[in-house]
Structure 1
Amino acid sequence: MPHRDRLGWALLALASAGGLVVTALVVGRTGVGVTADEAVRNWLLNTLPGPLRLGLDRIARPLVIVALAPTVCVLALLALVRRSWRRAVAGLAVPAAATLTTLELRGRDAFGIGGDAFPSNHAAAGLGLLVGLAVVWPRPVTRRGLVALVVGALVVGLGNVTWYAHQPRDVLASALVVVGVAAASFAALGGDSPNLARASGEPTRTGPAQVRSS
């Protein structure tokens, strides 16, 4: 991976950290932000049917984590066998580091929001495992793969809100943590760690610019 791409990933990590701070200060500690957060939550709770909301919660919280965690571990071992150690390390490190970071932030109430739900550790684990799955997948992730990941991320995000578990701000904060941890990992490891593909399906040297174009 060229130094320019590594720098791009590092800048994305810093931007995500900044976004986390802004989210905490604006959505968690201002009247306008709290009102907007409540409005989004109430819209979801009042718009989606109860069975769908409960189903999303059960998929996002226990099932995604239980299903993806062993899958990511097995694929990481296969990546090691194939000598793709950077992808193996990134695939395991991203979900683990993201989950631990959210637990630390909420445990310390680092942003002074109060309560013990910001950020959501369940959302961080689910989103982090989706990133880990993409990283250790045997083939480079194409545009279709990215679409599937986005759909999965939406299910995880919605499922952590639709059955009264979290506020939208908690999920948004977790997503920013996952993006920051993943980008920092790619910047540090370099090589093929992002595991992205060109539009043609061929492996490419990847950075934030290529994520937008693939």
Structure 2
Amino acid sequence: MAKTKTITIECPKCHEAFEIKGYETINASLDEELKAKLIKTELFKHTCPECGEVFSEPYSLKYQDMEKEYMVILDMGGVDTAAIAEEVLEMFPNYRLRIVKDVMDLLEKIHIFESNLNDKIITYLDHKIYEDVSAKLRAENSPIAIDKVLFGSFEFQKKKVVFGALNNAGKQIFIDTPFADYKALANSPRLVPCFKEKEGEYVIDKAWAEALA
């Protein structure tokens, strides 16, 4: 059973404040339906009882997968992530723990772990692809600017990793990377220590990847 909580949110149209039932923790291993709603971002869609406006507003929650032994904390403010991390690892010392501040980053972590990949390697590839594609677009004087690169899928049969580039034109840009590139990074003498789990290193994002480059 998912842990719930009461959240007060404000309608962006009429500014009416109202309460909703939110979720403290989503256990993907026990509630497939709730997991599906999160993946589709339906969980964060709300309807104002005053004016009927339908809008999206994420809130902080924890996403747990007992089978793959990991937890991702979505921190949208108002939570003590350090205390949560300590509590989680005291109960589940073998868990991989991650902290994100964006719904897209939360969904990316879920997709990465469900593909049985190392999110540190993928995040490093996110950054490298972002840099390479951005440089290419600038060289072409393209009006398109890349906002973020995210993991899309791992196609095992074709031995490739697919990434998606979010951009200012709203165009779908997909980049295929040979799985051999992933494996090369996984065996890189310089980077292997960086891709291992480290106590206290729970924010694996663009800034983390930039520090390795």
TM-score normalised by the chain length of structure 1: 0.26
Please say which structure displays the higher CA radius of gyration: 2
Hey, which of these two has a bigger chunk of strand by percent?
2
Hey, which of these two has a bigger chunk of helix by percent?
1
TM-score normalised by the chain length of structure 2: 0.26
* RCO higher in structure (CA 8 A, sep ≥6): 1
